[in-house]
Structure 1
Amino acid sequence: MKNKLISLFAVFILLCSLIPLELANAHPGRTDANGGHTCRTNCAKWGLKTGEYHYHNSDGSIKKETIKTTVKEKTKKDTKTEKSITSPTGLVLPKLQPAGTLQVYYLDVAQGDSTLIRTPKGQYILIDGGNNNQGKNVVKYLKGLGVKKLDVMIATHPDADHIGGLDDALKAFDVQVIYAPKVSHTTDTFKDFLTAVKTEGRTIKTAKAGVSLTIDGVDASFLAPVNDYADDLNAWSAVLKITYKDTSFLFTGDAESKSENDMLADGVDLKADVLKVGHHGSKTSTSKAFIDAVKPNYAIISVGKNSYGHPDSGILGRLNNVNAVTYRTDKQGTITAISDGSKITFVTTKK
């Protein structure tokens, strides 16, 4: 018996010698859903602080990763607390929401617009791509959310802060259908977009009032542009309305009062639970008549640091007057709206 114990002990010593020193001294801690955990012991040895979040590589080395927790804001109704991952480049990535819901990700692309929509059937629609310098971030956002293919890409109008990053998205993903209003521009940014479309072997379908998207499980139709607006690029903005059961979303690009008045005169149903506020909250958009017709419960303003005065205080007051809960990407980061068909809840990546 004594000889057996000695043999077993010798085997144990041999096995331990085969384990890398780093793993043998690794600190304990159960990994979470993201595959990492917080440091509890031997933290200084690993170059970590107590409680610092990290991952273990296969060789036992450490990969640091910051986890930022957002909290429910007292002024925001139906806003959940959520963990969001900050990538090594500092980009805060939103969390993918459960399948079977309509998910709208209003991406934080600084002073610009970019929105990703995931339908209950798992189809993806990308509306705009921010400025040129945001293209790579838009691709990272989409890849982080598991996007492999874009069923629809919409360029609302030729302004650089809306289409600048779309060429990156075209190169990174298989894009099935592209929509844009029938207006052109002479900028290099617009030419880059057209070149990317051609390089990928695609053509552009015209976005205009009355055109519907072929998307399963939701109703998606363009409400604008209604008319021809010559060289007024903002007025050309493609305005899309998506309805999922009892909930609805309105995406307005940079549409201003001229386009808003034409939509009102066209007699279309503008009522929507969530309004993506036109032109980053500029005073030239979101007229009283328009907002009275939309009657939004929630308003999203895609905006960053700027010298234009966006969002305008008068527009913020107008939204407050109709009791719309307002979210801003410059304050809340990427804003995610989740609809189960009857109720809409929100998650943000910043407090």
Structure 2
Amino acid sequence: MKNKKLTLLFVFILLFTFIFSGCEYKDESQVISPSGENNLVVHFIDIGQGDSIFIQLPNGQTSLIDGGSKIYEDTLCDYLTKLGVKKIDYLVATHPHEDHIGGLPKVIKQFDIGKIYMPDKTSNTKIFEELLNEIKSKGLHITVGHGGDKIAEDDEFSYDIFAPNNDDYGEINNYSIVTKIQFKGVSFLFTGDAENISEKEMIDKNYDLKSDILKVGHHGGRTSSTKEFLEEVMPKYAVISAGKDNMYNHPHKETLDRLKAIGAQVYRTDESGTVIVTTDGSNIKISTVKSKSDSQDKVFIGNKNTKVYHSEDCGSLPKEENRVYFNTKEEAEKSGYKSHEKCIK
């Protein structure tokens, strides 16, 4: 009896010590550490009409593919900060469109950056210039990405570039850096805004396109995700990053029909919010996180030349170099801008 009491007392002391010694229980279905804890964790972040994908590699390193539009730079940086991110080891700017690189200058300024990958394509926009200036100011260098290059690998995973495979495209989207991550038995294909020309080149190059999870090209636009390409990839899951009620009507019905035809289960950020895929290299777990509100990221876009401001989904938006952003109508009008009569009621 005495020994039994001593045993119970010992167990009680251990429990007491565990509870009050600073150890903290965490529900791992809700909290994911920056290292991924030997898992591969991919966050398709809901940042409106744009792309931003944060990747926690199984070796503890991280990667960010694109940074969405500048109007969502705070949303992106706050998301990374809440995950406890300090460093981004591999930053990939797929191509120089504002809805893919807009948030990257602030990301580079706020976080430690390892290698930066960009295609051999420039742009004369203000946001592209801002991105280059921020890279220069931190003493970083750009690695030009081509099909066939390797970003990283170890015994359990590989991170490869499949496109671009040319240096003379008529459409900027086809310069998109396309990457694939293979982690044990599970694979992801990230296609930026690559369209049918780039897709055909990847097929002709005989790349191993087969992937479990596909980041659908160009926000689900009809000029990407051709039947031939999807039949090579044959994803179980397809993720589309698009803004709610966007002016381009992304994703297009033709693309959704093609994805349905191959049996892919589709997740959309405009419907489900942020999509998080976690895998141990065998099993796949997908969860979604809704944004707090649809109105929190509402912005108005002014034209520096006409001094007129528009809603972000207006069909008459100015070129990027002529834009100025406002959080409210009042802010725009205090700055001397008048509302566009067709889109602002």
Kept after mapping to 2: 8 A contact 1:229/1:235: no
Does the 8 Å contact 2:152/2:160 carry over to 1?
A: no
Give, in whole Å, the separation in 2 of the partners of 1:350 and 1:171.
27
Partner of 2:224: 285
Three-state SS of the structure 1 residue aligned to 2:77 is helix
C-alpha contact 1:132 1:161 (8 A) present in aligned 2? yes
Amino acid at match of 2:84: G
**Does residue 157 of structure 2 align to residue 211 of structure 1?**
no
Which residue matches 1:187? 125
1:171 equivalent to 2:109? Answer: yes
Q: Distance in 2 between matches of 1:350 and 1:107?
A: 10
Corresponding residue SS for 2:150: coil
Of 8, 24, 32, the residue aligned with 1:96 is 32
Q: 1:65 — aligned with what?
A: none
Give 1:224-303 correspondences, 5 Å limit: 224-303=163-242
Match for 2:277 among 316, 326, 337? 337
> Which moved further from structure 2: 129-138 or 290-299?
129-138
Does structure 1 residue 131 correspond to structure 2 residue 69? yes
Residue 266 of structure 2: which of 323, 326, 331 is its match?
326
Gaps of at least 5 residues in structure 1 are 1-31, 35-79, 84-94
CA drift at 1:307? 1.1
Q: Does 1:121 align with 2:54?
A: no
| Aligned-partner Cα distance in 1 for 2:192–2:87 | 23
SS at match of 2:270: helix
Deviation at 1:215, TM superposition (A): 4.3
> Partner letter of residue 184 of structure 1?
T
Counterparts of 1:231 and 1:259 in 2: how far apart (Å)?
A: 11
TM-score (normalizing by structure 1): 0.72
* Displacement after TM superposition at 1:321 (Å): 1.1
Tell which has more relative contact order, 1 or 2 (C-alpha 8 A, sep 6+).
1
Structure 2: distance between partners of 1:200 and 1:136: 20
Task: Give SS of 1:311's match.
Answer: coil
- Of the two, which has the highest radius of gyration? 1
Residue type at the aligned position of 1:209:
G
Q: How does 1:70-85 map to 2 (within 5 A)?
A: none
1:11-50 correspondence runs (5 A): none
For residue 314 of structure 1, report the CA deviation from its aligned partner. 1.3
Question: How far apart are 1:134 and its partner, in Å?
Answer: 1.1
- Per the alignment, residue 255 of structure 2 pairs with 315
Contact 1:180-1:238 within 8 A present in 2 as well = yes
- Structure 2 Cα separation of the partners of residues 172 and 255 of structure 1: 29
Aligned-residue offset at 1:214: 2.5
- Local SS of the residue matching 1:345: strand
Matches within 5 A, 1:126-165: 126-165=64-103
Separation in structure 2 between the aligned mates of residue 301 and residue 230 of structure 1, nearest angstrom: 24
TM-score (ref. length: structure 2): 0.74
The match for 2:335 is none
SS at match of 1:280: helix
Q: Identical aligned pairs, as a percentage?
A: 43
The one-letter code matched in structure 1 to 2:240 is I
In 1: Cα distance, 2:215 partner to 2:117 partner: 19
SS in 2 for 1:214: strand
Whichever residue aligns with residue 96 of structure 1, its letter is I
**Runs (5+) with no aligned partner, structure 2:** 1-23, 292-345
1:96 Cα offset (Å): 2.1
Q: Distance in 1 between matches of 2:153 and 2:73?
A: 25
Question: Which 4+ stretches in 1 moved above 6 angstroms?
Answer: none
